Structure 1
Amino acid sequence: MTAVLHQSSIFIFFAVIVMCFFQNITCFNPRLLNVSRFESDWSIAGATWYGPPNGSGSDGGACGYKSAVGRFPFSSMVSSAGPSLFKSGQGCGTCYQVKCTCNAACSQKPVTIVISDECPGCVSESAHLDMSGTAFGAMAISGKADQLRNVGVLQVQYRRTECNYPGRNHSRLSSVKFQIDVGANPYYLSTVVEYLNGDGNLASMELEEASNKNTWHQMDRLWGAVWKLNSGSELRAPFSIRMKAADCGKVLVANNVIPVGWKPGDIYWSHVNY
């Protein structure tokens, strides 16, 4: 019986690989086997917190998420990062598990945070997380959050993890959000990209006009999680957006996500996610 089960497991594993190949999936999907691509040993970092004790740290920050950091699904569980994790903006949107074990107030249980800002002065350790008061306190034993916040610089353990956002209204279906920058116009489009599952960040982004199918314009990272396209001619909506994940390279297309009549400052939700 054991041999039969073993053979069955091997068959399922290779069936998943074959399925991924024929569906042109460009990176292995760990959810199929319930494991994380980022699961690894813990590393050491220094941790501090800023902003209100039960707040979301900065309102805005170097990633461009603005006040969204305090709302669901970020829910204030965010952190600014030193240069080694911020990576000149490419670290925006990446998710980490963080836990503390070296203080009596530590619960020793990991919490998940999202990189949402830069801490350019955090260079005293090889890695540093300047967390929101909410996220920092979440590492404490129940009722000991304020005691933990009074520690000062705390040594923590951290490791990369997959982002996995619940959908709007706490549904199971999440989707990528695009918020058009207030400076956008018919010749210049810039947008913040939020709530990316999986890697959480992008290596590249492209735009396709409805009037020019199969021609993809390369967008550039303006700063943080903000991407731009500066066109020499008027851009014709609706626009489709093609994204490439930073680490696994998986490609995702949000078809016609930015409609005709789009306006600077507007928010548009796709129907896709990693």
Structure 2
Amino acid sequence: MAENLNQKAAEISRKARFKLFLSEDDKPQSNKSNSYIRAIDLICEMIKRHPVGFGQIQNLWLISSSEKLESLYHFLLQESRNKHSIWFFDDQPVSYLRDGFCSAAIKQYHQFLVELRFEEALIDAYSDKLNLNGRELDLLEAKHALPNYLTEELQIPEGRDKLQLVKQRINQSVFRSIIRKNYQGRCCITGLNIPAVNRASHIIGWAKDPSKRLDPRNGLYLSATYDAAFDRHLISLDDNYRIILSTELKEFHTQESFKQHFKSIEGKLIEVPLVMPPNDEYLAVHRKLGSFN
């Protein structure tokens, strides 16, 4: 009984994380997230009834290895064109398989699993070593690289440019996910917990130092206005994680919008993560790039 409850809890957690992953690129009013989750539930039922070589991954929500997912993806594509597929059941909607929702869902789920493993590996690495150099990051990124079939739809030339774009997209997605979780999905200044308007902000810019771009201690979770101000060094944090304003920003001191959105937060302590708080040295670098007294 306890094992079943643990498995159910793990399944619910995985579904929630996958839905959040999908929501990053989901369009407003789109039902893609729910459709893909429903599609994977249907695939689990298909495999349960007719395993056809996929019996080892009957419950996709609990798998720890994604090795068979590419084969499953191609099988689903094949069956979507087969009018007499063994995975068409009278008591299940056939449109998910026939119209390509199942294959598309598996493709997205495979990408999610690769990024999830990379994210977990990064958190473990930084928790243990507190630092990764460029070489260690390269090895870790290579270990969790996306399979080729997941990058086929990228409309850019093959080779280094494509590999760099894929690597950057994965890194940005993983960093965003780590920072969002580290701050429990809330803007560390306002407490706003609406994912669509919050941003994972780098303290030391993405392009400034590749060895720090994935460090969870190099990130803040900020709503859009404060993300833009922090990125332009109009606001920063002191050694005690309190908000400071640049002299450039203070030139707007007569404006009501400045008083409402910036003067009101000056000296405020941000919500500091318990596990991996902002790095003091990174914050010092950030302050040097702005005009702070």
Asked which structure has the greater CA Rg, the reply is 2
- Structure number having the greater helix percentage: 2
TM-score normalised by structure 1 residue count:
0.24
What TM-score results when the alignment is normalised by the length of structure 2?
Answer: 0.23
Please identify which structure carries the higher strand content: 1
